[in-house]
Amino acid sequence: MTATRIGRPATIAAVAAAVWLLAAFLLWRTKIPAGLDRPQLDANSVFGSEAARAGVRFDRFFDVEWVLATLTSIVVLAVFLVRGPRLARRLGLRPVNAGIITAVFITVVLWAASVPFGIAASWWSRRHGISQRSWPSIVFEPLGGLVQTTISTTVVIAVALLLARRLPRTWWIAAAGVVLVLAVGLQFLLPYLQRLGTHPVRSARLAAQIRGLEQREHVGRPVVRVSPVSGETTAANAYAIGVGPSRSVIIWSTMLDGRFTPREVRFVVAHELGHLARWHTWKGIAWGVLFGLPLFGLVAYVTDRRGGLRRAENVPLAMFTLAIAAIVVTPLANAVSRRYEAEADWMALQATRDPGAGRALFEEFVRTDLQNPDPPGWVQVFLGDHPSALARVEQVEAWRRLHR
């Protein structure tokens, strides 16, 4: 290979890396002051030793369950890495059809392997009074997940295989573009579906507070609805979702059942509006592109060494590569999520000027949701998409010190 042929790909790679790092730097920035002096607090002192121990015991089950479920999925994919190519060849179908059937078959086996772990998690939550769902709904709910997973797998694999046939070298770039369009479309449409069965905020006082927070955080007038979940869980939550006219804040009814004070509920709403004010949904989509493009490129590189994704027998290799790469990327994705959650907390503090409500809220979450207030480092790295409750209280206290 000549120097020119070597230099050109190296130049392109260097430029792409520089663009990636610049985009990541811009997306990483938040409103939280750099070098914020957070106090080092003790979880037992902040939340009480009994609540802290209860959270540790409850969450440890899910930590172990995640490890076992992840290892099981890797083993399943490794088996198909060996036997999957033979399955694809024996189907006797055209490459695209054979690849789709192979991918769907692997997906169904992965789903079946995950069902016992999901049922175990539901049993644990039910045992501790968090889940209120009946056993029939717990047992049969995974079927809905199977349908959704099968449909999404079919669409993604079909797009990838069709593009690989027409664009053998650059299909992964086009595939990332298609996934981007789908992601934006889902973020636009999903809020309308998730509003089904919800109702407007019925408290005139809370509704007035929400309007005041919207003005302070300059978010316009997103739709704010209450989702009745008390028949399913005792856990309390709220979330922001959507883009453009579909922007929504969904408050679980368990936030309004009397366990949380009006000030704490107001803080929660300010947090969710903070997500919208800081464009976190759009930034999340942008991070999806930054993560997704290299992952698709890695799949293309690995499969090209065996003839490319044009060959259906390489679908198991593509799925295995993508799964392992996703695990590797998870710590960075979680770090981004924690950073945006911390920024939403900061926005809530700025909007409410009520650090007492913020601290009381995070303390109450530990008690009501049985959260581990200070989980082990590896748990935060692989499972922590929110800052720990202790870290959130420490940020509240840092804000309080800054605004004395």
Q: Report pLDDT digits (tens) over 335-377.
A: 999 999 999 999 999 999 999 999 999 999 999 999 999 999 9
What are residue 188's phi and psi, to 5 degrees?
Answer: -80, -40
Chain-centre distance for alpha carbon 269: 20
**pLDDT confidence band for 204 (50 / 70 / 90):** very high
The parent domain of residue 112 ranges over 41-393
Domain assignment present for 161: yes
Q: What are phi and psi of 41, to 5 degrees?
A: -105, 160
Asked if 191 and 247 touch (Cβ cutoff 8 Å), the reply is: yes
pLDDT band at 5; cut points 50, 70, 90: low
For residue 96, what pLDDT is reported? 92
**Is there a domain that residue 83 lies in?**
yes
Q: What is the DSSP letter of 200?
A: E
Cβ neighbors of 327 (< 8 A, separation 6 or more) are: 70
Output the six-digit token pair for 369: 């949701």
Q: Read off the pLDDT of each residue in 130-156 and give the average, rounded to a whole number.
A: 90
pLDDT score for 296: 93
Separation of alpha carbons 119 and 54, rounded Å = 21
- Spatial CB neighbours of 277, under 8 Å, sequence gap ≥ 6: 217, 218, 219, 347
The residue-averaged pLDDT of 260-275 equals 98
Q: pTM of this prediction?
A: 0.93
The answer to whether 387 and 341 are in contact (CB under 8 A) is yes
Tell me, yes or no, whether 244 lies in a domain.
yes
Residue 7 pLDDT greater than 70, yes or no: no
Least confident span in 6-20, 179-193, 316-330: 6-20
Q: Which two tokens stand for residue 34?
A: 């750099």
CA distance 339 to 358: 17
Mean per-residue pLDDT, 162-173: 91
Q: In this predicted model, what pLDDT tens digit does every residue of 377-402 receive, in sequence order?
A: 999 999 999 999 999 999 999 999 99
Query: In this model, does residue 282 exceed pLDDT 80?
Result: yes
Specify the number of domains making up the chain: 1
The residue behind tokens 């302070």 is: 216
Structure tokens belonging to residue 285? 């989509």
The average pLDDT across 308-317 equals 93
pLDDT of residue 16: 87
The H or E element containing residue 152 is helix 135-166
What is the number of H-type helices and E-type strands within the chain? 13, 4
Q: Give me the mean pLDDT over the 261-281 stretch.
A: 98
1 pLDDT more than 60: no
When the pLDDT of each residue in the chain is averaged and rounded to a whole number, the result is 94
Structure-model confidence comparison of residues 145 and 6, the more confident one: 145
Does residue 102 belong to any structural domain of this protein?
yes
CA–CA separation, 83 and 389 (whole Å): 45
| pLDDT band, very low/low/confident/very high, at 35 (cuts 50, 70, 90) | confident
Instruction: Decide if 153 is inside a domain.
Output: yes
CB atoms within 10 A of CB 30: 17
Report which of 153, 180, 178 is spatially closest to residue 166, judged by C-alpha positions. Answer: 178
